[in-house]
Amino acid sequence: MLKLAWKYMRYYKSQTLAIFMSILLTAALLSGISSLMYSSQKNDLANSKTIYGDWHYYVETDAKQLQAIENGERLGRSSQDGQPGQNGETKQGRKTRQGRQSGGGYRLRRYGKYEIRDVVSEEFPIYFIHADETYRQMAHRDLLKGTLPSKEDEIAADSFVLDNLGFSGNPGDSVRIGERNFVVTGILKSRWAADSGEMEIFVSGDFTGRGSQTFLYLGFDEDEKLYRQLDAFLGKYKISSDAVRGNDGVIQYLGGEEPAGIFEIVKFGLTEEEGNFTYIVLKLQSDYNLAYNGMIFLLCLLGSFVVYSVFSISVEKRTSEYGMLKTLGISGGQICGTLILELWTLFLVGYPFGCFLGNGVLSLVYQKFAGVFGGKGTGMAERGLSAADQTLAEGTDAMRFCLSWEAMRFGFVFLLISLAAAALLVVRSLSGRSLKEVMSGDTSFTRRRKIYALRPVNMAGVVVRKFMFANKKKVAGILLSLSVGGCIFLCTTYMAENLKVHAELSLKSDDGLGSEYRVSLKSGSLYDTIPEAAADTIRSMPEAKQVYATRFTFGEVSHVDELEWDTYFEYENADDYFIRRYGGICLPQEDGTYRIKYDVYGYDDEMIEQLDGFTLEGAADPDVLRSGNKIIAVALMDGQGNYYFYGKKPGDTITLRVPRMDAYTDELLRFESGEENYIEKEFEIAAIVSRPLAREEGFLQQGFYKDTLMTSLIMTNDQMEENFGITDYSFINASPAEGADTEKVSSEILEVIRDVPKAVLQDYTAAIRTRKNYLRQQQIFFSSVAAILLAISLFHIANSMNHTILARRREYGIIRAMGITDSGFYKMILQTGILYGVLADVCIFLLYQFVFRRVMDYYMAHVLQFLHLTADVPNQVLLGIMALNVAIAVLAVMAPARKLVRGNIISEITR
Amino acid sequence: MSILELQNVAKVYGRAENQVIALRDINLQVEEGEFAAIVGTSGSGKSTLLNLIGGLDYPTEGKIFIRSRETGSLSRKELTLFRRRNIGFVFQNYSLMPVLNVYDNVALPVTFDRGRHINRKYIEELLRELGIWEKRKKYPGELSGGQQQRVAIARALVNKPQVLLCDEPTGNLDSATTVEVMGLLKASCRKYKQTILMVTHNEAIAQTCDRVIHIEDGQIVTGKRRFPAKGGDGVC
């Protein structure tokens, strides 16, 4: 059999090459894209560790419990340290025992202590922390300059904190915090988010504060599932699971939580009221890494489909020979064995080469476009990080390309089995026909009892159509396979276009119009504001442009009578901080209505106009808002990308109450004081939008809720003044003018706000530049992936067309013998190519427009949660793909046609 | 009057060591209306000779004249047109288009030459005469060998060619059908005043023709003409 397989491979060189190329390209695509995604996830993990810290869980603990843990772990370690090498133990034996000894079911790689000894909130909320070396390593709080504090009045902190405390920059100098002076001994590396709510000051063990709250940060072995190790750890030290908080940004990649069973997920999604298809997709994504594993599976499927298609076309040519072999008494099993051997031989050579090629090319692409990867495009909202914050945190370090051995192994096994199945299918199709049929080639076509020549007709055209549609199933299969590549290309382009829009909108909504500078207040009080004069000064700076100053107040929307999403505010309502400060977020009333806390923004006209990109309903027009005293509402969004605003539409009204500023105290934020302390007004809704732009960071959007709780109302700055008498600002966004010295602009703004209490400046210049570069690279990456897919698709089209023509070479020989001229013959073939191309285009258009696009819309809106799906595949791209399809189909048929014309008619018809 | 003349025609396949001389120094004249059989053993070059005459292949040396026109001087397109209008082919394996029914198979060559102007009356006459009118909607795969060869003959005749070249037209047929097909060819030859060159390796069939041309090792063997150029009603 091996000899026969080898003979076939050598005899049918072009077919062998086509199959080999399809295997090679499939392997390249599969391994390359999988490694790319794997690298992306690996780097996501590395980035998440940089951002959130290299730890998995923390537990709040007390001195006694801490002592017990320390003793327990020390014991475990000392026994491990003493054992290796003793009694000639094997490495494996030691490893097993280590795991058992360090706690039975877990391996604690390291743990760090973090103790809050005092909090001062006079100027900014400042935490006095005493932490050990391990914690500082875990949190990436490395010492950059100076030394660590060793005396009671010594401190170390990062430059962001120290700058805002007015520190000179030289270790040894002192700063005043609250009532005390401290000597700054060292400067630490900044936290990932320079503007995070808490400012940390590191103190020595001698520092005595007003209290002590201790946390233990845990880092387990990442080769094992974390949730199992945590359970074992908690069990050993009898710690309640309520005391544990996970580092979600990190543990999501490492099995930090026990996954639900696939059957349970699907069952819940289909049978429970809360479940739906999106739930299934999202849950599978979080528990089973659906995007990665699904992509590997789809690529394997696409690859085996392409290889099968190429293979079956190639084998068709030899159908009669297999028929002859059968007449000679060779069994179907032996023929199948020959085919499998042939395919596997090619596969064993092609697959490693393909993997080498795919990984090689894409590792180069990866290094060149490092910014594309590492989750820098989507998913920031879920992590509670703005695009700019994340960029700041991640920096621009080059990332590592990791090989996805798992995908390559899976692909190898999958394709090996698929190829055997392909051979089996071919043999099955042979056995379904009689020997005579097999020997005489393809005779399966629809026989219509119609005489075409009875009417004036172009018989060449009839022959072309007859050839094409002789077997409808076959032609449907060919057209479908021809369309797949084009559809994937269009889908990728569609996603890339929308990703671009999403990224731009995210950047705008995250930090306010993607501005390089943001002046904000480290305060949770409406009393603190930026004076109008300061805003005017920044506006008048020649080197600053697009200066957007935002007025802000905190309000309550009353008389909300419909709350279809009754569990939407469940967590916020249970949050201690919100209850203590605001008396809750969404409060049900006796009359069945609700009162809901809201951020109320006053935007510049230009900012309101820029809300247009986020509009779900109505129109964001500042003049309309002013003239009709209307308001823009930000809709609530659920975890599946659905929007909702209490069933209200533009034209409906809402009642808004805000505290009066003349007798303001923070107590008024609870909205429980006398009516005389509030201003209540009714506003008509002009538009409903999906996101606000520049956002506060001290009221509702705190910490965990930074990007999730966006109950916001927007009006013009003029309306804020007229309705509520607010003239000062809460934050200002600005950009440097073209060609301006950004550092100079930064120091000028700092100068302006120096005398504004609690005002801080965040400089996103580098972050925005990096982000824009990422965005550009993302576009290039997606286009490259689309181009690779298109190239494979075009190769497939060319191969299919080529074989479609060559499969009919005897018939074409007869036609030529009947006296068709060369030009007539070329016209006939051209007609075939055009017809195939056009039909494939129609197929692509219908599949894309009515199937794939809708699936993509759903995926982008509900799974990826893109802000707005406003972008479409550009018409030029759409038309280009269609023209390219026709051109490739034409070229692909003309090449064999030329071969036929050059060939001898007699040898063609005697085939 | 001679309708076909071959002068010193030779055909060589391959080069150097692989060279095979299929035909050498062929000189032949065929009169108008003559029904000639080309006989020879397998590999003697008879089919090659027929293909050269039909313009389906090119001679390595020599000239071929059909109706006084040298086919070698014609361009590819002129040769195709000339072949279409003057020569009809009947092959041993019928060479019918499997996706077309009987009628459309027969009409196919006409559409190449006359576009959409098909003489349907003539096609009907042909099909009736050949006894396959009732089968006009059938596909080749649904016909017997004899019926398929009748369709092939009808297709060869549909352009009313001056010369009909038949390559072992009865090679796949049983003896009764062979007699039928030969009768049809002879009748056609008489009715349409056509010249027929028929390749066969069957001496008995050849003997029913006006003239028998023997080929051996790529050369015409002279001195074996046993029948007068005209006549030969032995079979019909």
What confidence tens digit (pLDDT) does each residue in B159-179 have? 888 899 998 888 777 888 788
Q: A144 touching B, CB under 8 A?
A: no
Tell me what pLDDT residue A709 has.
58
Assess whether pLDDT exceeds 70 at residue A317: no
A723-735 average pLDDT score? 89
Question: Is A823 close to B77, i.e. CB distance below 8 A?
Answer: yes
Please answer whether residues A70 and A447 qualify as being in contact, where contact means their C-beta atoms are separated by less than 8 angstroms.
no
CA A359 to chain centre: 22
How many CB atoms lie under 10 A from the CB of residue A425?
15
Q: Distance (Å, rounded) from C-alpha A745 to C-alpha A729?
A: 20
Of A445, A456, A823, the CB nearest to B99: A445
Tell me what pLDDT residue A367 has.
72
The whole-chain average pLDDT of chain A stands at 79
Tell me what pLDDT residue B227 has.
45
Q: What residue of B is the nearest CA neighbor of A818? A: B109
Q: Distance (Å, rounded) from C-alpha B156 to C-alpha B168?
A: 14
Total number of domains in chain B: 1
**Using 50, 70 and 90 to split pLDDT, how confident is the model at A479?**
confident
Residue A64, Cβ density class (10 Å: 0-12 exposed, 13-18 middle, ≥19 buried): exposed
In a domain, B95, yes or no: yes
ipTM above 0.90, yes or no: no
- A472 interaction partners in chain B (CB closer than 8 Å): none
In a domain, B228, yes or no: no
Tell me what pLDDT residue A81 has.
47
Q: How far is B153 from chain A (nearest CA, A)?
A: 12
Tell me what pLDDT residue A290 has.
79
Q: What residue of B is the nearest CA neighbor of A828? A: B112
**Using 50, 70 and 90 to split pLDDT, how confident is the model at A801?**
confident
Assess whether pLDDT exceeds 60 at residue A151: yes
**Using 50, 70 and 90 to split pLDDT, how confident is the model at A84?**
very low
Phi-psi region at B109: left, alpha or beta (left = phi > 0; alpha = psi -120 to 50): alpha
Tell me what pLDDT residue A636 has.
84
Q: Distance (Å, rounded) from C-alpha A221 to C-alpha B38?
A: 90
Tell me what pLDDT residue A382 has.
39
Assess whether pLDDT exceeds 90 at residue A716: yes
Assess whether pLDDT exceeds 90 at residue A602: yes
Tell me what pLDDT residue B233 has.
38
**Using 50, 70 and 90 to split pLDDT, how confident is the model at B76?**
confident
Q: Distance (Å, rounded) from C-alpha A491 to C-alpha A479?
A: 18
Q: Distance (Å, rounded) from C-alpha B210 to C-alpha A91?
A: 99
- B83 interaction partners in chain A (CB closer than 8 Å): 819
Q: If contacts are CB pairs under 8 Å, which of residues 497-556 in chain A contact chain B?
A: none
In a domain, B235, yes or no: no
- B154 interaction partners in chain A (CB closer than 8 Å): none
Unique residue bearing structure tokens 């006296």: A819
Measured torsion, CA atoms of residues A332, A336, A338, A340, in degrees rounded to the nearest 10: -170
Buried b (16+ CB within 10 A) or exposed e, A390-409: bbbbbeeeebebbebeebbe
A743-747 average pLDDT score? 82
Q: Which residues pair with A127 in a beta bridge?
A: A119, A200
Of B76, B107, B111, the CB nearest to A822: B76
Question: Is B97 close to A470, i.e. CB distance below 8 A?
Answer: no
Tell me what pLDDT residue A75 has.
65
Q: What share of chain B has pLDDT > 70, as a percent?
A: 92
For residue A592, give the 3-state DSSP assignment. coil
Q: What share of chain A has pLDDT > 90, as a percent?
A: 8
- More reliable by pLDDT, A194 or A216: A216
How many CB atoms lie under 10 A from the CB of residue A162?
22
Residue A394, CA distances (Å) to A53, A137, A767 in order: 12, 17, 9
In a domain, B166, yes or no: yes
Q: Which of A115-129, A307-321, A687-701, A865-879 has the lowest mean pLDDT?
A: A307-321
Assess whether pLDDT exceeds 80 at residue A387: no
AA letter at B63: K
Q: Distance (Å, rounded) from C-alpha A575 to C-alpha A229?
A: 29
Task: Give the list of residues 6+ apart from residue A829 with CB closer than 8 angstroms, or none.
Answer: A805, A893, A894, A897
Tell me what pLDDT residue A180 has.
83
Question: Is B56 close to A824, i.e. CB distance below 8 A?
Answer: no
Question: Is A904 close to B57, i.e. CB distance below 8 A?
Answer: yes
Assess whether pLDDT exceeds 80 at residue A862: no
Q: Give the relative orientation of helices B145-157 and B102-114 as an angle to the nearest 10 degrees.
A: 20
Assess whether pLDDT exceeds 60 at residue A597: yes
Question: Is A451 close to B103, i.e. CB distance below 8 A?
Answer: yes
Of B99, B103, B109, the CB nearest to A467: B99
Q: Which residues pair with A759 in a beta bridge?
A: A521
Q: What share of chain A has pLDDT > 70, as a percent?
A: 84
Tell me what pLDDT residue A776 has.
72
Q: A85 touching B, CB under 8 A?
A: no
Of A445, A817, A824, the CB nearest to B95: A817
Residue A911, Cβ density class (10 Å: 0-12 exposed, 13-18 middle, ≥19 buried): exposed
Which structural domain range is residue B94 located in?
31-58+75-221
Q: Distance (Å, rounded) from C-alpha A885 to C-alpha A833?
A: 10
* CA proximity to A350, closest of A307, A309, A316: A307
Unique residue bearing structure tokens 């901080």: A577
- More reliable by pLDDT, A260 or A651: A651
Task: Give the count of alpha carbons within 13 A of A661, CB side only.
Answer: 16
- A911 interaction partners in chain B (CB closer than 8 Å): none
- A445 interaction partners in chain B (CB closer than 8 Å): 98-99
**Using 50, 70 and 90 to split pLDDT, how confident is the model at A193?**
very low
AA letter at A382: E
Q: Distance (Å, rounded) from C-alpha B55 to C-alpha A293?
A: 62
Question: Is A459 close to B107, i.e. CB distance below 8 A?
Answer: yes
Interface-testing mutation among A436, A814, A898, with chain B (most B C-beta atoms within 10 A): A814
A748-765 average pLDDT score? 81
Interface-testing mutation among B56, B120, B122, B160, with chain A (most A C-beta atoms within 10 A): B56
Q: If contacts are CB pairs under 8 Å, which of residues 891-910 in chain A contact chain B?
A: 904-906, 909-910
Question: Is A451 close to B136, i.e. CB distance below 8 A?
Answer: yes
Q: How far is B8 from chain A (nearest CA, A)?
A: 23
Of B95, B99, B159, the CB nearest to A909: B95
Q: Which of A261-270, A599-608, A787-796 has the lowest mean pLDDT?
A: A787-796
- Sheet of B211-216: strand order equals B87-90, B163-167, B195-200, B35-40, B211-216, B219-221
Interface-testing mutation among A818, A828, A909, A911, with chain B (most B C-beta atoms within 10 A): A818
Backbone angles phi and psi of A184, in degrees to 5: -85, 115
Of B98, B117, B159, the CB nearest to A443: B98
Tell me what pLDDT residue A684 has.
93
In a domain, B64, yes or no: no
Q: A828 touching B, CB under 8 A?
A: no
Q: Which of A391-405, A407-421, A718-732 has the lowest mean pLDDT?
A: A391-405
In a domain, B180, yes or no: yes
**Using 50, 70 and 90 to split pLDDT, how confident is the model at A911?**
low
Alpha helices in A53-191 (DSSP H): 63-82, 91-101, 133-138, 159-164
Question: Is B104 close to A453, i.e. CB distance below 8 A?
Answer: yes
Q: Which of A8-22, A110-124, A430-444, A588-602 has the lowest mean pLDDT?
A: A430-444
- Domain coordinates of chain A in residue numbers? 1-53+263-443, 54-246, 460-510+765-911, 552-729
Q: Which residues pair with A177 in a beta bridge?
A: A180
Assess whether pLDDT exceeds 60 at residue A441: no
Residue A353, Cβ density class (10 Å: 0-12 exposed, 13-18 middle, ≥19 buried): middle
Q: How far is A834 from chain B (nearest CA, A)?
A: 21
Unique residue bearing structure tokens 């293909």: B51
Assess whether pLDDT exceeds 50 at residue A785: yes
Q: Distance (Å, rounded) from C-alpha B62 to C-alpha A857?
A: 72
Structure tokens at A31: 């391994």
Q: Distance (Å, rounded) from C-alpha A353 to C-alpha A209?
A: 65
- A815 interaction partners in chain B (CB closer than 8 Å): 97, 108
- More reliable by pLDDT, A433 or A593: A593
B207-233 average pLDDT score? 70
Q: If contacts are CB pairs under 8 Å, which of residues 451-480 in chain A contact chain B?
A: 451-454, 456-460, 462-463, 466-467, 470
Unique residue bearing structure tokens 């009709």: A628
- B168 interaction partners in chain A (CB closer than 8 Å): none
pTM beyond 0.80, yes or no = no
Q: Which residues pair with A636 in a beta bridge?
A: A644
Question: Is B89 close to A910, i.e. CB distance below 8 A?
Answer: no
Of B89, B103, B136, the CB nearest to A817: B89
- Sheet of B61-66: strand order equals B20-31, B2-13, B61-66, B69-70
In a domain, B192, yes or no: yes
- A819 interaction partners in chain B (CB closer than 8 Å): 80-81, 83-85, 109, 112-113, 159
Task: Give the count of alpha carbons within 13 A of A504, CB side only.
Answer: 15
B184-210 average pLDDT score? 85
Q: How far is B11 from chain A (nearest CA, A)?
A: 14
A115-128 average pLDDT score? 79
Q: Distance (Å, rounded) from C-alpha A414 to C-alpha A293?
A: 13
Tell me what pLDDT residue A383 has.
40
In a domain, B140, yes or no: yes
Tell me what pLDDT residue A412 has.
92
B108: domain CATH number? 3.40.50.300
